[in-house]
Amino acid sequence: MQVPNYEEARIRSRQEVLVKSFNLDKDYEKIGLGKKFFIKTYGCQMNEHDSENIKGMLKAMSFTESLTMEKADFIILNTCSIRENAHNKAFGMLGRIKHLKEKRPELVVALCGCMAQEVGVIEEILKKYRFVNFVFGTNNLNDLPRLLTESFKDIKKTLNIEVYSKEGDIIEDMPVVRESKYKAYVNIIYGCDKFCTYCIVPYTRGGQRSRRKEDILKEVRELVKDGYQEVTLLGQNVNAYGKDLYTDYELADLLVDVSKTNIPRIRFLTSHPWDFTEKLVEVIKNHDNILNFVHLPVQSGSNRILKLMGRRYTKESYKKLYDKLRSIPNISITTDIIVGFPGETKEDFEETLELVNYCKYDSAFTFIYSPRENTPASKLPDNTSLEAKEERLYQLNELINKYSKESNLKMVGNVYEVLTEGYSTKEGMLFGYTETNKLVNFKGPTAAIGKIVKVKILEAKSFSLDGEIVE
Ligand code: SAH
Ligand code: SF4
Ligand code: F3S
């Protein structure tokens, strides 16, 4: 039993991070023969990609996937801690699984992901959810085959918790089953060292560790060989890429090298305004396959709140960077905003609205502040009522939607390249995304799926576009 510990999770030891190669023990290869697994994933792209690796490991162990819980021999929840409602969903799911387990005691149940790294969550599992077979953390994904084998061999074994708070080694060559045949996630940096005061990620994902450039480039080259059209380079803070590993190689350099692989489309997520260099702006401008799309979370338009959040920039410096990016023709810029941070006044909130009026974002994710266990912001006094916060969120969303619609309207009548991903939920239509990450539903032949095609935009909605294929 190894439980998480926040003291350890805070330490950024600067010890050398080891790079290891994934190896599946021969004894584990047949464990899943004739057995099915069900996986439920919550949270961000990082978690989605972890689930692709989990599926890869399970496939290597001879499991097949079940799309329903009821038919599965193994159920795994890959959880998210970012806000309270993510928690509630996962605990609600555990409640449903408990009933299944009562009927079928041989069912194996596991929990992993960010919630596994939380001290309070582990205490609750130990108290109320002892039917879970095992828990592992974000830093030891590669322990899954061993833990799962132990559970199948001895189903009566009591709840086993193996969660390490210190960041793990980097494991290369993890097996993977990707969701898409056309676009792929590629991790470039793990963890986060920023410690924004509201955010739990630096505790759940550990210290910042960049992957070696040669490993990233090898992965992208293989994706090109397999016919992939798009890669998204992933990290909690991709702009910090390389800082822990190189003295003269940063995200901008990595993007140039990835660009040379000739993959048609490159995105990167998520950028922190603090580490966004001039060189990076130039690289986006000068490379056709580095898409004109930047997600640049601002969080608040009030300098007082930004300071309390520990964001390390001001609204003035953010605007300066924003203007530089906007000067790139046809760029799309999106953001994240939190309302109701502890102590946020009406005036602070109005400054956020002002900033949105200035930036006219192409779209944005907006959230009501959610206090997270052990974070500094959760200890700040907060006198704003939930009603007032909900009202602010509503007002903000109205404004965000207005600018999204405006940016979509500007596209009507023009032709854009769209990577076709499959059939749309709208009957008889296909769907895909533009270079600027706008969702388009359009009429076109099935043969377009998996290809980058030219689509004329006919109509703009708030959250999507309708069009028809022209080439
Ligand atoms: N590493 C990325 C993404 C972090 S999570 C970044 O720093 O941009 C995605 C978004 O969730 C954040 O940008 C923030 O807007 C929101 N978020 C994070 N912690 C939150 C909290 N405690 N309450 C509400 N929203 C939060
Ligand atoms: Fe992703 Fe953050 Fe959720 Fe972890 S807490 S899964 S990093 S969104
Ligand atoms: Fe890191 Fe982003 Fe939080 S940069 S501290 S995860 S908001």
Poorest-confidence range of 6-10, 64-68, 150-154, 385-389?
Answer: 6-10
Poorest-confidence range of 9-18, 215-224, 447-456?
Answer: 9-18
The tens digit of pLDDT for each residue in 330-350 reads 999 999 999 999 999 999 999
Tell me the HSE value of 258 on the side-chain side, using a 13 A CA sphere.
Answer: 32
CB 113 within 8 A of CB 47: yes
Coil, helix or strand for 172?
Answer: strand
Is the CB of 195 within 6 Å of ligand 3? yes
CA distances from 442 to 181, 264, 413, 437 (A): 20, 21, 13, 15
In one letter, which amino acid is 375?
T
Closest CA to 202 of 193, 210, 211: 193
Is 70 exceeded by the pLDDT of residue 14?
A: no
Query: Which mutation among 236, 241, 243 tests ligand 3's pocket best, with the greatest number of atoms within 8 A of CB?
Result: 236
Is the CB of 366 within 6 Å of ligand 3? no
**Nearest atom in ligand 3 to 272's CA:** 4
Chain mean pLDDT for the chain: 96
Average pLDDT for residues 309-331, to the nearest whole number?
97
364, 370, 376, 377: CA torsion to nearest 10: 70
Average pLDDT for residues 452-456, to the nearest whole number?
97
Cis, peptide link before residue 270, omega less than 30° from 0: yes
The tens digit of pLDDT for each residue in 19-45 reads 999 999 999 999 999 999 999 999 999
Is 70 exceeded by the pLDDT of residue 101?
A: yes
Report which protein residue has its CA nearest ligand 1's atom 1: 236
pLDDT at position 10 is 87
**Nearest atom in ligand 1 to 198's CA:** 22
Is 80 exceeded by the pLDDT of residue 469?
A: yes
The tens digit of pLDDT for each residue in 82-93 reads 999 999 999 999
Query: Which mutation among 39, 45, 47, 167 tests ligand 2's pocket best, with the greatest number of atoms within 8 A of CB?
Result: 47
Is the CB of 198 within 6 Å of ligand 1? yes
Query: Which mutation among 47, 48, 82 tests ligand 1's pocket best, with the greatest number of atoms within 8 A of CB?
Result: 82
CB 280 within 8 A of CB 255: yes
pLDDT at position 155 is 81
Is the CB of 239 within 6 Å of ligand 1? no
pLDDT at position 166 is 87
Is the CB of 47 within 6 Å of ligand 1? no
Domains of the chain (ranges, CATH numbers) = 6-162 (3.40.50.2300), 173-409 (3.80.30.20), 415-469 (2.40.50.140)
pLDDT at position 438 is 96
Report which protein residue has its CA nearest ligand 1's atom 19: 199
Is the CB of 238 within 6 Å of ligand 1? no
- Cα 441 to averaged position of ligand 3 atoms, centre (Å): 33
Residues 6+ apart with CB under 8 A from 263: 220, 223, 224, 228, 229, 230, 231, 289
Poorest-confidence range of 110-114, 423-427, 432-436?
Answer: 423-427
Is 80 exceeded by the pLDDT of residue 321?
A: yes
The tens digit of pLDDT for each residue in 370-399 reads 999 999 999 999 999 999 999 999 999 999
Is the CB of 231 within 6 Å of ligand 2? no
55/63 Cα distance (integer angstroms)? 9
39/18 Cα distance (integer angstroms)? 29
Query: Which mutation among 138, 234, 336 tests ligand 1's pocket best, with the greatest number of atoms within 8 A of CB?
Result: 336
Is the CB of 377 within 6 Å of ligand 3? no
Is 90 exceeded by the pLDDT of residue 429?
A: yes
pLDDT at position 430 is 97
In one letter, which amino acid is 301?
G
Average pLDDT for residues 460-469, to the nearest whole number?
93
Average pLDDT for residues 271-300, to the nearest whole number?
96
Q: Which residue has the higher pLDDT, 427 or 188?
A: 188
Is 70 exceeded by the pLDDT of residue 139?
A: yes
471 band by pLDDT with thresholds 50, 70 and 90? confident
pLDDT at position 282 is 97
% the chain with pLDDT above 90: 93
Residues 6+ apart with CB under 8 A from 333: 293, 294, 295, 296, 322, 325, 326, 359, 361, 362
39/57 Cα distance (integer angstroms)? 13
Report which protein residue has its CA nearest ligand 2's atom 3: 80
Closest CA to 233 of 215, 218, 249, 220: 220
**Nearest atom in ligand 2 to 86's CA:** 3
Neighbours of 190 (CB within 10 A): 22
